[in-house]
Amino acid sequence: GENVEQHPSTLSVQEGDSAVIKCTYSDSASNYFPWYKQELGKRPQLIIDIRSNVGEKKDQRIAVTLNKTAKHFSLHITETQPEDSAVYFCAASMGKIIFGKGTRLHILP
Amino acid sequence: DAGVIQSPRHEVTEMGQEVTLRCKPISGHNSLFWYRQTMMRGLELLIYFNNNVPIDDSGMPEDRFSAKMPNASFSTLKIQPSEPRDSAVYFCASSLARARAEAFFGQGTRLTVV
């Protein structure tokens, strides 16, 4: 069945440094790749997404890249801040939305 | 719009009891998803509906789980009988039924089966 692999499961970075989270997907029919952020005790919320006809998208300190040939996509957060600490989920969609298992990001002071 | 509304927010029940979780999607959204979240397994898709019709229920763990969507503004997820391993946070999400549409999540129901 469809599968989304996400790495790493935990990531600690110094405040101000960059964080990178990587995902791979199995279903080549996937055409939409959202990223969600979930703070403790709250619901997942969309932070950025990318569509299959685009290779890269940027929104302030957040960027996503997509390599459809390799079925890879990544989230990049630059100049990390304490409020970036959360769990981040990648997902792949072809109608139904399949999530990776999440990355717990810790921003160290 | 108030967003996706789930009830109850918390549910504690004894093993063997029936549990019903409820969801009201965003008005105008015609795709609805039920997810289960645990530390070990992350966000698992249980079932999703398009225009009130179940499209894919391959994630439903076993016959104890069932889901319905009698109309565009209401869905239920039922567990009967419940077991301790069903303890998790259950999220409902909705989106427009078109390609590349953002899903909006409800606040979730934290279920504890003792």
Whether residue B102 lies within 8 A of chain A, CB to CB, comes out as: yes
Work out the mean pLDDT of chain B and round it to a whole number. 94
The two three-digit tokens of residue A12, written as one number? 């600690």
| Cα–Cα distance, A62 to B57 (Å, whole number) | 34
> Is the pLDDT confidence value at B18 over 70?
yes
For residues B9-26, give the mean pLDDT.
97
- Per-residue pLDDT, A7: 97
Whether residue A101 lies within 8 A of chain B, CB to CB, comes out as: yes
> How close is the nearest chain A Cα to the Cα of B40, in Å?
8
Contacts of B104 (CB under 8 A, 6+ apart): A46, B3, B4, B26, B29, B93, B94, B95
Interface of A with B in 25-84 (CB under 8 A): 31-32, 34, 42-46, 49, 51
DSSP B25: P
> Is the pLDDT confidence value at B99 over 90?
no
End-to-end CA distance of chain A: 41
- Per-residue pLDDT, B62: 84
Each residue's pLDDT, cut to its tens digit, for chain A (109 residues) gives 689 999 999 999 999 999 999 999 999 999 999 999 999 999 999 999 998 888 899 999 999 999 999 999 999 999 999 999 999 999 999 888 999 999 999 999 9
Nearest Cα residue in chain B from A6: B42
Confidence label for B1 from pLDDT (cuts 50, 70 and 90):
low
- Beta-carbon count within 10 A of B42 CB: 18
Nearest Cα residue in chain B from A50: B100
Nearest Cα residue in chain A from B4: A43
Contacts of A8 (CB under 8 A, 6+ apart): A21, A103
pLDDT digits (tens, 9 = 90+) for B51-79: 999 999 999 988 999 999 999 999 999 99
- Per-residue pLDDT, B96: 87
